[in-house]
Every structure is written in structure tokens, then in C-alpha cells.
Chain A
């Protein structure tokens, strides 16, 4: 009978190796445990259901956690590729460094209905109300897990979490003593390298320093022409975690990055005869964040978080600079024997500087916006198996004044292994600066009789916030020791969705000739009624083989308000697929090998003419000794290349190529 491998005492490096070996799948055989001596059993580390996991069981929302094992075995080299496995999250790559990512519809490059947080810091750009995924990317080795909540997170996180929240959590420096070098290179991603080193700081603290370099090659456009969309990124940062006394803990982290990229661009809305040309892009910035948490004896806790972030970006010739300073205080405590109340207040000041070019301007150029927010949430244990959570958030923003976002959630733990839940809530998306203050030329076109015409788009300082009311129901269960299931359905009503309303054209003098001006203005002329659902399961087929299927469905019924002549809205609203299906298979093999695959099918995107497609990714990995692993990843293996989203907002879409990528990870 093979010897028991007793886990060593928790010195940092051994802990890391233990974690690594867990991820790679070497571990215990049940029969061996019965042969262990008492001393050996006492020394065995176990996995237990944490308080957080118990809380997860009675969470009345559609939650998906991308775990450390999922991250290690996905073969992904960036955050967007990691998000592909989450049901309900729509990930579509536009070109090498830009993505359209959303939850439950309305996908676009500046998809504005999802809140993205990194360790509690919001990484959203107020200029265009979207996420620059190339600016926020982290090395895979830095990420502990990603928690995705689908549906309005309004009550706790606030505005712009209309369709969901993606919360990226980095590894605590307490768990990462020692060094990790991860070097990868392939046919499309020429480099994805990271190096980190961590250790103790004093007697009660720890730190980690890390750096990363990425280099992605150019792809091609759908007509075979070069994409010019390759990019490079240098990124570095630190994290430190401290225990102060019995009750306090402090985390301080920061990062700096610099990107250089390129895009093939055309005018903002592709018009017949538009020429394309190549343009460079660069971005640089950084952030620093501190969070102090105090736990009291009765389980109450409070936390104060402060962060400052800044970036400068030049894209399509437009320089953008943005800085944010944010304060956030949260307090959780029990009230009586049946209630737990969380409340918080926050203040964020964002300054954006958008320089004018010949074709785009913002007035005013520099804008300082203050966002005030307060929330309260009460979790009530109605009976031992019925939990009611009532909450609301109130915010004040400079464009639309006060917004109130209430929500009610009910969770019924019908059995110790299953939960039914219901929720209803209201969420709001406040306008981006662009919608209020932009003046941009969309393109020029020749009308009949050779008259030139200029189309342009104006911001509307009276733009309203988009509003949404949402009703959801779900079921989460551990059906047997080897099968778990998570299902969620939703019905959402959207109002005041952003559209572009035509204004009367005018003839203007231009030099010695005349030009027709065709203006559009941002308006809130759209409504939508969406419904759908997601189903995800985990099936441990054997002790070394897990299959995770996921399915999502979304029906969007978008209408412009009666009397509105907007023509762009419907097309923009139809850029998410109606159905997606995927299966991930994680298989541990003898000889320290692992073999993982993802097969996915995405329905067509009616709004931009992308057909339905399959995608297959495969990863093979082998551990070498205790501290190294090599892996080979093949992505998009079914076809030489395909367009996943097409172009948008001036960027011409390029194809995702079939590619192969090899990686070595060393721990020292």
C-alpha cells in the first residue's frame, strides 16, 4: 500500500507547494486515510465549508466563482479569456487589445452596465462609461479568484452595476511567500511573462512584489489584410497585508502600467467608402489602495477603503486623462438575534481631461465629478431556513442628481443542500461624460449630386440615467456527492435606454463651398424587455475527472419610444447572442499529467452580422517535481481565424487566430 504523504508543517514554501499540488491534482486516496496513524490524521489538512461558503449557499443572487483551480487550468493569458467560462457573461474580442464584455446583453466596446472591481477598486472609465480591459489586465498568477454576480448589484455596489458585478480578487500576500516565475510564449501571444516574490514584513505582515510583460502579435482583418492590432504591456505592482493587534488588519497595494498598442481604424460609424488607416495607441497609469478592517468579538466588522487611480491614454488620436480618489466606509453588525445590518457611505471624485481634436471635443474640457453614495442592507433570518434581505442605495451624481436603488431578496434553504431564491430590484446607470458633453464627427459622406455631408453626434446635458427593474428566481443545489447545479432566471425592464435622436439637418458654409450637416443627439429613447436564464453544473464523473457544463439564454426585445426616429439603437442592442453553451472538462491523468478542454457554442450576433460558431480550447500540463509545471495550450483550434464581434467605435475588428501557447511555471 502506498505511503501516506503527510502534509508538512505550514512553512510558507511548503504551503505554496501544497497549494500547487492541490491544483495539479495529486492528493489522497480514501483507503490510505484509514491506514493512517492518529498522529498522521491529526496532521492532515482538510477542506471545510467556510463561513463565506455557507453565506454563498443562502445568497439570493446568481453568483459564479472562477476558482483558483479554474484559473490555473483554463490556459487563459488575460482576464477577458478567464471570463469566457462564466455563464451569462458575454465576451467578444474586437481586436488584439479591445473587447466587448457584458452580462445579460447590451454588449458593446463601452459596455456600460457592468461594474468591474479589482480588490474593491472600480476600474470603470467615466469618460465613456466603459472598461479598458487592456489597462486593467493582471498577470494570471496574481489572481486568487473572480466572483461574478449577474443581475443588479445596486443595493450594495451602486450605480452602473445594472446587469452585474465582476469582482477580481488578487492573492493575499500572506499566502504567497516565495517566488513564482511564469514564462509563456506562443504563436499569437509572443510573451506572457510574470515574476513575483513575496515574504514576511516584520512579525505580523507580509508583502509581494510582482512584474509582468505581455506581447501580443498582430492578427488579420476578415479580408486578410493585416490587423495592425498587436500590443505590448509592462505592468508591475505590490501588495502587503498586515495584522495589527487582535482585531485589525490592513492591506496596501498598488500598481503601475504602460501599454503600447495599435488599431486599424475607420470613421466611428462605418460608412460606404470610408478608408481605413493604422493608428497607434498608448496608455499609462497606476493606482494605490489601502483598506483597513476591524473585527469585533460579536462578529461585527467595519472597513475603510481609500484608493487613488490615474491613467493617461491616447486612442484614435484623442488624449484622455482621468484621476479618481475614492473613500468607502462599511459597517456590518448584528441587530438582535435575527438581523444583520450592513451600511456604508462613499465619496468618489473623478477628474477627466479630454482634449479636443479636429473631429471631437468635449465641453468643458476638464470636468471634476463628485459621486456621493450611501447604502444599507438588512439580512433577516425569518426562520432557520428563510432569509429576507432588504436594502437600498442612494447616490448623487452631477448629471442626474439623486438615484435610489432598492432591492429585496428572499432565500429559502429548503434542505441543507439546496436553496431556492427570489429577488426584485431597481438599478440605474448614470450617463457618461461623453453622453452629456461630446461633440464628435462620425464621418463624412457624399450625398447625391456630390454634396458633401458631415454626420456628427452631440452630447445631451439633459441626458437621463438609464433605469432598470429586474425580477429573478434561482435554484442552487448539491444534488449528490458528485453533482451540483446552479440555475437562475430573470425578467428585466429597461427604460430611458440611450439612443441617438436625429436633429434637423442644416447647410453650413465651409471654406468656399457648402456642406450639409446631419446632427444626432444622445437621447433616452429606448426601452427593453429582456428575459432569460443561465444553468451551470459541476459533475465529478470520477475522482479525477470533472465536467462543468454551462448554458445561457437571453431574449432582448428592444423598442424605441413611439415618435422617436432613432435608427442606431436597435442594432446596438442586438450584439449579444441569444444562446450560448459550453462544457469544460478537467481531467487528472497518471504521471502528473492533466488534460483540460473547453468546447463552446455561441449563437449568432444579429446586430453585427457575426454567425454562430463553435470554439475549442485544449490544455495539457505536466508537473515536474514539486515546484515546476509546463503546459501547452491550443486556442480556437477549429478554424484558422474568425471574427468574434466585428468593429466598433472606430476600431476595425480583427480575427481571433488559431494559436498555440506554451508556459513554464517555476516556484522557488
Chain B
């Protein structure tokens, strides 16, 4: 019966994406994008650009797919997962999952390290994180904690700051 075989035949054709992107698909794209607007200190280690995920991974394999083969500057991008903050110090960007608690204590461990901490737990910036995601009217927004960025020796471009919904610790 042709009808039974037909879906198998046409599935070989190029698939189209079926739905609006999910929250975490867009957040993954943001993580990659942020890197273009942040300057790390010159002596930052590593030949590869590392994006780390600390805690229970909310992205899944989609972040690896999104960033496969991508480069930032001359460095290839790699995604790694960690359960302890100290293992993540060599990454340039660390996404702190909302399951990682206690948040303030964890973020304090990153102080002084050149790591851009990003998260979506409530009050992420107020707890010491550098970029905090919110969802408003089905769109992703972000807020920036400039003081935390300065403590991490990171330079955030004014373009990034202008697109943030809120900036804590504005430049004097």
C-alpha cells in the first residue's frame, strides 16, 4: 500500500523546522552572540573558546548542534558541561543553570575569574551574575550587572549595554 510507504520516502527529503524556536534554542544563540560584544583579558587561557554549562543542562544537544563548527575570532567554539564551578574556570562563558544553588555562593566563586556568567534564575544579576535572562511576552530579554563584569575584568561593549533591559552599576 503506497500510503504506508510514502511518509518514509518523503522523510528523506530535506526537513523543514516545524515550530517556533524554544526558549533554550534562542538562549543558546544569545550565548554565542554575547561573545562578540565582550572583551576578555589578553592573557585569557586556551586555544579554544569554551562555553560551559554548570548544573542541570537545560539546553540538551541543541546547543552543540547550533555551535558546531563555529568560531569566535580565530578560536573554535566548544561546549562543555560541569557540575562543580572550579572545573569551569577555564571557560570564557559559563551558563549557570537555575538548578545550581545556592546561587550567590556559586557566583562568588567566579569572582576575579575572567568568566562571563550568564543565567536565567530569578534575580540572577542581583545575586552577582553578569548577564541575566528574562522572558517577557514570549521574547527573551537580558539584564546586565556591570559591576560584576568589571570584577571579572571583562569589557562589555556599549552596544550590548544599550540592548539590555536593565543595567546595574552603570559607569560613572
Residues of A within 8 A of B (CB): 7, 10, 22, 25-31, 33-34, 36-39, 41-48, 416, 481, 540-546, 585, 587-590, 595, 597, 616, 618, 637
Contact = CB atoms under 8 A, between A and B. Distances in A.
Nearest to A19: B20
Nearest to A541: B11
A585 B4 CA distance: 10
B34 to A, nearest CB: 8
A543 B160 CA distance: 32
Nearest to B14: A590
Nearest to A46: B23
B65 A587 contact: no
Interface of B: 3, 6-7, 10-11, 13-23, 25-26, 28-30, 32-33, 37, 56, 60-62, 65-67, 70, 135, 137-141, 159-160, 163
Contacts of B18: 25, 27, 540, 543-544, 546, 588
A17 to B, nearest CB: 13
Given A26-B16, A30-B62, A45-B139, A36 B11 contact: no
A298 to B, nearest CB: 17
B163 A34 contact: no
A25 B16 contact: yes
Given A30-B62, A34-B29, A38-B37, 19 more contacts: A27-B16, A28-B20, A28-B21, A30-B65, A33-B66, A34-B66, A38-B160, A41-B30, A41-B140, A42-B140, A46-B22, A46-B135, A47-B21, A47-B22, A543-B15, A543-B18, A544-B18, A595-B6, A595-B10
B7 A585 contact: yes
A587 B11 contact: yes
Contacts of B32: 34
B20 A36 contact: no
Contacts of B10: 587, 589, 595
B13 A42 contact: no
A242 B154 CA distance: 48
Secondary structure call for the A interface:
mixed
Which of B15, B37, B135 has the most CB atoms of chain A within a 10 A radius of its CB? Answer: B15
26 contacts: A10-B137, A25-B19, A27-B20, A28-B19, A28-B25, A29-B17, A30-B17, A30-B65, A34-B33, A37-B33, A38-B33, A38-B160, A41-B30, A47-B21, A47-B22, A47-B138, A48-B22, A48-B23, A481-B62, A543-B16, A544-B11, A544-B16, A589-B10, A590-B14, A597-B3, A597-B7
Contacts of A30: 17, 21, 25, 62, 65-66
Nearest to B138: A45
Contacts of A41: 26, 29-30, 33, 140
Contacts of A481: 60-62
A595 B16 CA distance: 13
Contacts of B17: 27-30, 543-544
Nearest to B142: A42
Contact of B20 (A22, A43, A588, A618): A22
A228 B108 CA distance: 79
B139 A46 contact: yes
Given A39-B163, A44-B139, A33 B26 contact: yes
Contacts of B16: 25-27, 29, 543-544, 588, 590
A42 B139 contact: yes
B11 A38 contact: no
A47 B139 contact: no
A604 to B, nearest CB: 23
Nearest to A587: B7
B13 to A, nearest CB: 6
When A and B form their complex, which 9 residue pairs have the shortest distance between CB atoms, in order from nearest?
A33-B29, A544-B15, A27-B17, A45-B138, A542-B15, A28-B21, A46-B23, A543-B15, A28-B17
Contacts of A44: 21, 26, 139-140
B21 A616 contact: no
A416 B13 contact: no
Given A34-B70, A590-B14, A45 B20 contact: yes
Contacts of A7: 20
